[in-house]
Chains A and B, each alone.
Chain A
Amino acid sequence: MKSRLGLAVVVCAGLGLAGQVLAPLVAEPWRERREREPALRLEPGVAAAGQGVTLALLGGFRALVADAAWIQMYARWERRDLAGTEAFARLVTTVDPRPVYFWLNAARILAYDFPAWRIEAAGGYDAVPAAVQRAVNEAQAAAALEVLGAARRRHPESVDLWVEEANIHLNRRGDPLAAAAAYREAWARPRAPYYVARLRAEVLRRAGRRAEALAWLREVHPALPAGDPGAGAEVVLQRIRELEAELGVPAGEVYRPGR
C-alpha cells in the first residue's frame, strides 16, 4: 500500500464488500427479531430511553437495567410526577419487554392512578365537573389500552393482558360490551382460567344482553371439567338455568348437559 489514504480506501471497500455479501445471510432472522423487540426499532420510546437502552443493549443486563428503571419509576410515582412516571414505565417496557408484569402495571398506573392524580391536581373529585372527569378517564384508559396493545404484539398468548383490557373497559370506560369482547379474547388464549368465561357471561347479563350471556354459557359449559371445583361447571349450569328462567325458554329448548 503506497499511502495511508490508499490503505484506508481499500479497508473501507473490503468491509463494504463483506457487508454486502454477509448481510443477506441474516436478513430473515434479523427481520423476525426486530419485529419482536421494540428496543431494536427507532420508536419514540427508544429515543426517550436514551442511555438506559444503550447500556442494556451493549451490556446485555436487560433484566437488571429494567429493574433499576422500575425502581426509578416508583420514585416518580410517589411524587405523582406524571411525565416522569410514564417515561420510566415506557423505558422499562422498551428495555425489557419480556415480563408481562411490567406491561400490566404500566397500564394499571396509566388507567387508574393517573386519572386520580390529574383530577386531584385540578381541585379534587368534588370540584372537577363530571364531564371533565369522564374525559380524563377516557384519555387515560386510551393510553393504557395502547400500552396493552403494544404488549400483546410481544405476548400474543397472554390471558392477563386481555383480562386487564376488559377490566379497564369495564371500570374506567364503563363499556361492558367492550369488556365482554376482551373477556372472549382472553378465554380464547391457551391456559385461560375458567373464571374468565363466567365473567364474560356476567358482564353481558348486567349489560342487558341476557340471551347472549345464555348462548355463551351454553357454548362454554361442555368444555368445563366436571370434577374440578375451579372450573365451576355446577355454578355455570345453575346460571344457565337462571337465565333460561329469566328469558322464559320453553322446556323443550332448555340446555341439556352432555348433548
Chain B
Amino acid sequence: MKGAPFSFLRLGLVAQNTLREAVRQRLLHLFVGLALALVLGARGLRDFNFGAPELKFLADCGFGAMTLFGSALTIAATAQLFFSELENRTALTLLAKPVWRAEFLLGKLLGVALLTALFCALLTGLLAAVLWVREGELMALDPEGFRGGRAVSYAMVALGGSLQWLRLVVLAAFTLLVASFARTQVFAVVCGFGVLVICHLQHLAQEAYTRAGSAVGVALGGFLGGMFPNFQVLSLADSLDAADLPSLATWARLTAYGLGWAVAAGLLAVLSFRRREI
C-alpha cells in the first residue's frame, strides 16, 4: 500500500507486547510449573520404570512434559492472546493506527513463537541439567559402564528441544488460522486440540484409507495427509546416543518443513483475518 509499507518493526512491537502479556498469564505459570515439576520429579518416578535405561527414562519424561504442557500452553495462549485483543477492544485501537492487519496477526504469531521458544529452552536446559547430574552419579557408581566417558549426547537433547519448539510453532500457526475466523475462543481451542491430534495421527488415517483401496478413501487420505503437517516427523529422535544424531542436512530439512508449515498457516490466517470485522 502506497505510503505505509509493511513494517517488520511494527510486527516486532506487536510480538514484544504479545510476549510481555503472555508471560503475565497465570495459565502459563501453571503449565510451566507443572512441566518443571515433572522434569524435576522424573527421578522420583524411577521406581516405576521397568524397561528403559534410567537416563533414557528421564529424557522421555522431560520431552513428554514439553510436548503435553507445551501443546496445551501453545493452544491456550494463542487463542487467549488473540481473542483478548478483540474482546477487550485493544485491537480496535491498534488497527485504527496505520498498522497492517498482517503485521498485527504475524506479530501475535511471533510473540507466541517466542513464548514457546522460552518454554522449550527452559525445559530443555533443565532436562539437560537433570541428565548431567544423574549421569555423573551413575558414572561414580559404575565407572566400568562409562569407560568411554559420558553416554548422553547433549546435542541430541538440544535437537529434541528444537524439534519440540518447531512443532509448537506450527501448532500456534494453525490455532491462529482457526482463531482468525472463529467467533469464540472456545471454538479455537477445541479446533487447536483437534489439529494436534490430526497432525499426530494423520499418517495412520492416510495409510488406512490407502489400504481400503477405494478411490474416495484414497482421496480423503490424501486430503488429510496433504493439508496437515505430520508431527511424527518432528518428534524427538528416540535416542540419547551421539551416533544417532541426524545429519545437518536432515536437521535443516526438518526445520524448513516446520517453519514452512508455520509460514503457510500464518499467511492463510492473514488472508482470513484481512476482511474480518473488528
Contact = CB atoms under 8 A, between A and B. Distances in A.
Given A60-B60, A102-B50, A14 B257 contact: no
Contacts of B228: 15, 19
Interface in A3-59: 4, 7, 10-12, 14-23, 25-26, 28-30, 33-34, 37, 40-42, 46, 54, 57-59
Contacts of A102: 50-51
B18 interface: no
A74 B268 CA distance: 50
- A interface bracket (residues with beta carbon within 8 Å of B): 35 or more
B155 interface: no
A96 B66 CA distance: 18
B254 A29 contact: yes
A62 interface: yes
Contact of B236 (A20, A25, A60): A60
A139 B197 CA distance: 39
A210 to B, nearest CB: 37
B253 interface: yes
A61 B57 CA distance: 9
Contacts of B172: none
Contact of B52 (A18, A59, A98): A98
A68 to B, nearest CB: 8
Contact of B261 (A18, A40, A54, A64): A18
B261 A22 contact: yes
A100 B50 CA distance: 11
Dominant SS among interface residues on chain B: helix
A60 B64 contact: yes
A172 to B, nearest CB: 23
A14 B271 contact: yes
Q: Which residue, A20, A67, A70, has most C-beta atoms of chain B within 10 A? A: A67
B169 to A, nearest CB: 14
Contacts of B238: 37, 62, 98
Contacts of B203: 34, 40
A99 B52 contact: yes
Interface residues of B, number: 57
Given A26-B230, A61-B64, A102-B50, A11 B196 contact: no
A83 interface: no
B152 to A, nearest CB: 15
A233 to B, nearest CB: 21
A209 B235 CA distance: 51
A58 B232 contact: no
A66 interface: yes
Q: Which residue, A59, A60, A62, A99, has most C-beta atoms of chain B within 10 A? A: A60
A63 B67 CA distance: 14
A1 interface: yes
Contacts of B66: 60
B226 A19 contact: yes
A42 B207 contact: yes
Nearest to A99: B51
Contact of A67 (B51, B230, B264): B51
B64 A101 contact: no
B227 A15 contact: yes
B174 to A, nearest CB: 9
A46 B68 CA distance: 21
A62 B60 contact: yes
Contacts of A12: 227
A16 B223 contact: yes
A23 B52 CA distance: 32
Given A1-B271, A70-B51, A99-B52, A29 B261 contact: no
Contacts of A61: 60-61, 64, 68
Contacts of B226: 15-16, 19-20, 23
A102 B211 CA distance: 30
B66 to A, nearest CB: 7
Nearest to A4: B181
B265 interface: yes
B260 interface: yes
Contacts of B229: 19, 22
A70 B52 CA distance: 12
A34 B233 CA distance: 9
B233 A30 contact: yes
Interface of A: 1, 4, 7, 10-12, 14-23, 25-26, 28-30, 33-34, 37, 40-42, 46, 54, 57-64, 66-67, 70, 92, 96, 98-102
Interface pairs A-B: 4 shortest CB-CB: A99-B51, A61-B64, A18-B264, A19-B226
Given A22-B260, A57-B232, 6 more contacts: A1-B275, A16-B223, A18-B264, A26-B230, A54-B201, A66-B52
